Amino acid sequence: MKKHQILIALIILSVMGLIVTRTAVLNNLSIAGLKLGKIQTELDSVRLENSRLKKELLKLSSLNYISSQASLLGFVEGKGNFTFNKPIPLAIKQ
Amino acid sequence: MIWRYRLILLIVILFFAAIIARLFYWQAVKGQELSLLGKSQYASVIKNLPERGEIKTSDGFPVATNKISYLVYANPKEIKDREKISEILSSKLQISHASVSSQLSLDKFWVPLKSGVDPEKKREIEKLKIPGLGFEKRFERYYPEASLSSHLLGFVGKTETGEDQGYFGLEGYYDRLLRGKEEITVEVIDALGRPILSRVNKDTENTKGSTLVLNINRTIQFIVEEKLKKAIEFYGASGGMAGVMEPSTGNILAISSFPSYSPDNYKDFEPELYKNPFISSLYEPGSTFKPVVMSSALDLKLVTPSMKCLICGGPVSIGGYEIHTWNNKYHEDINMVDIIRYSDNVGMVYVAQRLGTDNMIKYLGKFGIGEPTGIDLQGEVSKPLPEENLWYPVDLATKGFGQGISVTAIQLLGAFSAVANKGVRMEPHVVARVQSPDGEGAKIPLKTLGRTVSSQTAKIMTEILVNAVNKGEASWTRLKGYRIAGKTGTASIPIEGHYDPHKTIASFIGFAPADNPKFALIVILDKPTTSIYGSETAAPVFFDIARDLLLYYGISPSGE
């Protein structure tokens, strides 16, 4: 009889223990959702900022923008060119 | 007594049988339905919107990319004070009050209000905390260089079902590669709709389309566009186009045409402007076509550079038509070199007659005239050559000097590049390679289309063209110190059965440096008004661009 009682008590204790554990784990999981939500919002915000900065960077490095800024700064198109090395003549008259 | 126990046992058995039957009903018969119902409660379906692939020039700069924008939508059933909300939204979104009001009065759960709303505007509207209003994140096409190479790029419009679709140019030709894939992922949520577990999904990078890396050189494209735009204004032309090709590979380094449009706001422009005239407009090339015919005759040894023209003493009459030179000056006993130098139409009639119709057709085919070049842009057209039995003697004669035949600018540039490339014709290509979202690249292979003339003929023709530049009508504007091969063109425009006496298509085509060509360039001005001649309008533009290209490539003068 005693053995049976001990066994039943053990089973009841195990079941109660598992119920408590399950409750604790599920509670933690439900809170994790809040953190996930916050991280997702932050991620979206960072992605948006990246997109804005990329757009700004591309605009500033576009040739159209550089050309207009160069004009404002007084740069003009170079008309002449020069070379340091003269072509070697085929023959020289002495 | 025993019967009581048996009765209770029977009742218990029947009770459990009923439970088992009910369990079977809910788990087996209704199982799938309940599972779906459960999923709709614990799972949230999220669509990962596709991001269209970028288009980059050869230096890696994205000339077509994406920016984040929002579609503002509303649930009319949740909006109480429609009049007031319509007022607020129409002012914030800068759309008419009537359109907002009409959308909010619909008996629907979801109505779109405005797309393309930027993130700053979205934040402003969010702060108003209007119930029933939502925002859907989308990717919108963005062109950092504005309308630079707009005809090359094309634009992204919408299909009938509202999906993004590329039209014209590269956006149209490579639409299937550029499109991303819409991906559906599932997120597990709690009773309040908050996420519990992270999403069950694949790598989100897979929603992106492939990226195109072009042969287009951004600097050369910019130079060509700026100079062409200024030239059109300076010479009072109604339009113009220019293209640069690398003869040895067929790589397209620049294509520009005006009038143009902005792919960002394509709806604000006339649809006629969308097509790229460089590949989609046929024109009669005039004297720029003469080197093609002359090369053909030289290749067959039907003429030699020093051979004299026997009919060049005056105008020539063929089939009831009298053919003159462009300036009514005639040179008796002129040779082939000088026919090109003086752009002598009568001389070219002589060459065409020696060539004959069958050889003319054969060689024009070798040069790619009358068939598409295969360039990777949407909208290329071509006009096939007439069958041999449909050629009259006057057709042969006029085609000899580039009238009575229709080509596109890309066809002529490809044909000329073949002469520059020792007689070998290459398929023109705008795209160098395609990069998949995971970083792997597939190079577009070079394609040889065939041999047009022998390398010896190509060399002879090159020298004839260098002589034409140095001593011909455009010699006043040539770049001293450089050997450049080229030809002017002043083509009459056919109009209602005859040629317009006052308007022309002025052009210049050439390649440089003549001995080892780095680029072939064509400049075409449509109906210039300051002068009708190619030598006075298109030629200076050609040499202006060529000078900058030679400087850009660091090619020093050869001393000539």
Say which CATH number the domain at B104 has: 3.90.1310.10
CATH number at residue B426: 3.40.710.10
The answer, for B200 touching chain A at a CB cutoff of 8 Å, is no
pLDDT of residue B48: 67
Is B25 inside a domain boundary?
A: no
For residues B182 and B302, state if they share a domain.
no
Asked if residue B32 is part of any domain, the answer here is no
Quick one: B301 and B446 in the same domain?
yes
CA distance B69 to B73: 13
Q: Kindly state whether residue A90 falls inside one of the protein's structural domains.
A: no
Enclosing domain of residue A55: 2-72
Task: Say yes or no: B190 and B305 in one domain.
Answer: no
CB-based contact (8 Å) between A47 and chain B? yes
Domains: count for chain A:
1
Does B247 share its domain with B161?
A: no
Q: Is there a domain that residue B158 lies in?
A: yes
User: For chain A, which ranges sit under pLDDT 50?
Assistant: none
**Domain boundary residue, one of B214, B231, B253:** B214
Residue that is written with structure tokens 């707009």 in the block? B150
CA dihedral sign of residues B274, B279, B284, B285:
positive
**Do B495 and B362 belong together in one domain?**
yes
- How many domains in chain B? 2
Residues of A in contact with B559 (CB under 8 A): 86-87
Residue A81: inside a domain, yes or no? no
Give me the pLDDT at residue B373, please.
96
Question: Is B402 part of a structural domain of the chain?
Answer: yes
Give the start-end residues of each E strand in B457-535.
Answer: 485-495, 498-512, 519-526
Q: What is the pLDDT of residue B287?
A: 96
Instruction: Encode burial over B441-472: b for 16+ CB neighbours within 10 A, e otherwise.
Output: eeebeeeebebbbeeebbbbbbebbbbbbbeb
Same domain, B185 and B333: no
Q: Pick the closest to residue B244 from B463, B535, B541, B554 (CA basis).
A: B541
Task: For residue B42, tell me if it sits in a domain.
Answer: no
Exposure string over B514-530, b if 16+ CB within 10 A, otherwise e: beebbbbbbbbbbbbee
A28 inside domain: yes
Task: Search chain A and give the residue with CA nearest B551.
Answer: A81
Q: What token pair was written down for B361?
A: 């057709």
Residues B468 and B539 in one domain: yes
**B102 and B35 in contact (C-beta within 8 Å)?**
no
| Residue B499 near residue B492 (C-beta atoms within 8 A) | yes
Residue A53 placed within a domain: yes
Does residue A34 fall inside a structural domain? yes
* Contact across the interface for A36 and B198, Cβ inside 8 Å: yes
Same domain, residue pair B480 and B405: yes
Q: Are B555 and B518 in contact (CB under 8 A)?
A: yes
- Identify whether B225 is part of a domain: yes
User: What's the domain range around B205?
Assistant: 47-214
Do B204 and B235 fall within a single domain? no
- What are the tens digits of pLDDT across the range B147-189? 778 999 999 998 887 778 999 999 999 999 999 877 776 767 7
Amino acid at B117: V
**Residue A83, domain member (yes or no):** no
- Amino acid identity of B545? I
pTM (global) more than 0.90: no
Which of B198, B214, B230 is a domain's end point? B214
Q: Please tell me whether residue B141 adopts helix, strand or coil conformation.
A: strand
* Residue ranges, chain B, pLDDT below 50: 202-204
* Nearest residue in chain B measured CA to CA from A28: B196
Instruction: Give me the amino acid identity at B554.
Output: G
**Cβ contact B510:B470 at 8 Å:** no
Percent of residues, chain A, with pLDDT higher than 90: 39
Q: Which of A33, A48, A51 sits opposite B194 (nearest CB)?
A: A33
Q: Are residues B201 and B224 in the same domain?
A: no
Tell me the ipTM for this assembly: 0.74
What is the spatial distance between Cα B431 and Cα B254, in angstroms, rounded to a whole number? 12
Is B226 found in the same domain as B207? Answer: no
The answer to whether B135 faces chain A, any CB pair under 8 Å, is: no
- CA A3 to chain B, closest CA, distance in angstroms equals 31
Within-domain flag for A10: yes
